[in-house]
């Protein structure tokens, strides 16, 4: 990649823990870690029927550790047993609609799960063992900002998440930085935009849902009125941002800080879907706008100046290029798996 470089001497043979290893972003982060020579431990609770980690064969290249982030004893066991010096905490309940329907599991996973990972690392570092956790990178979200009066969001904006998912990320974000401030734990926080790319198997999300519809020769459905603006970030760019942040948290001055990771370019839902339609070549299939979504912020996008200047990170993929690559991945994946095909309307 251009810009700041990942250091081989930092990552080669470094033991790294990734929580939520079967998740979408986690799969790509693990892929990048394996490529750079890290020794990866993936903390997992349940084995899903499919995941990017499994589809890419990465689960056979790392160590899998069973554990539930809502259990402090599980977190203590995994952190102590595997002697990882960098921890990426990605495990979460990440679906906004599911959070609205069932807030308590979302709070348990996103708030207490984060607290348990941080506490396990704090307790380990308080011992006299030679193995210490050098840094923890906690995945927050642009949703932690809530609905702000000023756009784009900078890291100085207050965290005002009020809907269940947004509030859970606001809390996790504050918890992470409190462990740095109070206990000196070397923690940093990412606030990413909306991720998309190969391997997102939550087919209710807008990018895979749109692609699946197009591949079935159906009109894509937009649940909003098409006007909400978001910062859509390619998952491969996000993975590089995580690696650079962890590196700078240990060798630079990123500890205790939060970083926006996004493109800084607002894109409406209708523009996103239209770009996917163009990539598919099926321009006769126009989106069906339902305008039925609720419990989501209308406009959200990020100012990523801090990540650009302090981490040397910039996204490397254009939206059109990344969506075209994503479309081709799903075309191959869906063609090989009839269980994921669209039901007829």
Compute, in degrees rounded to 10, the torsion defined by CA atoms 235, 186, 313, 155.
90
Among 133, 119, 164, CA closest to 146: 164
Strands 63-66 and 232-234: unpaired
Cα 31 to Cα 21, 27, 76, distances in angstroms: 11, 6, 25
Instruction: Please identify every residue annotated as catalytic.
Output: 165
Among 189, 310, 304, 193, CA closest to 257: 189
Q: Is 145 helix (H, G, I), strand (E, B) or coil?
A: helix
Among 294, 180, 277, 314, CA closest to 228: 294
In whole angstroms, what separates CA 305 from the centre of its chain? 19
> Token pair of 244, please?
């650079």
- Where do runs of H (alpha helix) occur along the chain? 8-11, 24-35, 52-55, 72-82, 96-101, 103-107, 113-125, 164-183, 206-215, 235-251, 269-280, 305-306, 319-335
Rounded CA separation 78/40 (Å): 13
- Whether 232 and 272 have beta carbons less than 8 Å apart is answered as yes
Rounded CA separation 271/80 (Å): 47
Residue with the two structure tokens 């979460």 = 92
| C-alpha torsion sign, points 297, 302, 307, 312 | positive
């Amino acid at each position: 990649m251009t810009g700041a470089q990942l250091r081989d001497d930092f990552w080669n043979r470094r033991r790294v823990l990734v929580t939520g290893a079967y998740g979408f972003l986690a799969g790509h982060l693990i892929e990048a870690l394996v490529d750079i020579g890290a020794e990866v431990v993936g903390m997992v609770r349940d084995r899903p029927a499919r995941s990017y980690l499994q589809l890419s064969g990465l689960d056979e290249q790392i160590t899998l550790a069973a554990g539930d982030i809502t259990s402090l004893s599980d977190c203590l066991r995994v952190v102590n047993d595997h002697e990882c010096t960098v921890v990426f905490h990605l495990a979460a309940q990440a679906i906004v609609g599911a959070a609205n329907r069932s807030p308590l599991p979302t709070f348990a996973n996103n708030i207490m799960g984060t607290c348990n990972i941080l506490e396990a690392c704090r307790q380990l570092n308080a011992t006299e063992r030679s193995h210490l956790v050098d840094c923890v990178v906690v995945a927050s979200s642009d949703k932690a900002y809530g609905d702000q009066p000023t756009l784009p969001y900078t890291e100085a904006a207050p965290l005002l998440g009020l809907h269940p998912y947004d509030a859970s990320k606001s809390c996790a974000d504050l918890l992470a930085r409190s462990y740095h401030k109070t206990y000196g734990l070397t923690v940093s926080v990412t606030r990413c935009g909306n991720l998309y790319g190969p391997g997102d198997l939550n087919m209710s999300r807008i990018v895979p849902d749109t692609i699946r519809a197009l591949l079935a020769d159906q009109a894509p459905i937009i649940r909003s009125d098409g006007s909400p603006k978001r910062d859509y970030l390619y998952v491969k760019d996000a993975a590089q941002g995580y690696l650079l942040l962890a590196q700078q948290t240990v060798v630079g001055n990123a500890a205790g800080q939060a970083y926006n990771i996004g493109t800084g370019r607002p894109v409406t839902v209708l523009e996103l879907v239209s770009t996917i339609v163009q990539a598919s070549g099926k321009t006769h299939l126009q989106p069906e706008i339902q305008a039925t979504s609720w419990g989501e912020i209308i406009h959200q996008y990020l100012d990523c100046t801090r990540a650009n200047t302090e981490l040397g990170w910039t996204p490397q993929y254009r939206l059109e290029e990344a969506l075209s690559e994503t479309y081709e991945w799903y075309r191959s994946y869906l063609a090989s798996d009839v269980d994921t095909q669209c039901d007829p309307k």
